[in-house]
Amino acid sequence: MPDEASPLAALDVPFGQFATWLEEAMASEPNDANAMVLATATPDGRPSARTVLLKGWDQDGFVFYTNTLSRKGGELAANRHACLLFHWKSRRRQIRIEGPVVDATAAEADAYFASRPRISRLGAHASDQSRPLPARAVLEARLAEAEARFPGEDIPRPDYWSGYRVVPAVIEFWQDMPFRLHDRSVYTRLDQRGDGAAWSVQKLFP
């Protein structure tokens, strides 16, 4: 936990600890310290997982962006719960976050989309994410078509490209310790609807 002298100490638990660990990971990980595994599931419980990038967070949740017609988008449309996992190997730490998922606002999605590199924005128009691709040349041709269609910087966000916010109901911090006697602390939001700011904390056996 941040000490009282740290500016992070003013943040509510468990977000102060998350901020501290993320900041430390940004300083030590060789790349993509904001990478997180996103686990989703179908309504009948068939899971899938992939790595995405955290693009924003606050006490209301953890935000990522994607093609909403992708596999993960389809699963989130049918089952509005997900799990996130940060694993910072160099720091021997993990954070696991569980909770319901809500859509980012159109304004949030527009603002982030506009901040992306031009080729990434064009790629959102060119790619039918998660669908079969006959050959790499097909993607390259579609990218060229998108470049011709949008020759300047004014590239609109596709309707099917947006963001999701995982609203934390449970956050677990895991720190590697010698002889596998790891330190684990799990925070549970007392108001599971997500309206309240109060959390309980419980240590777990490793």
Q: Which residues are annotated as catalytic?
A: 180
Q: Which residues, in sequence order, are CB contacts of 192 under 8 Å at separation 6+?
A: 169
Exposed/middle/buried for residue 187 (C-beta within 10 Å: 0-12, 13-18, 19+): buried
177-180 contacts at long range (C-beta below 8 A, 24 or more positions apart): 177/206, 180/206
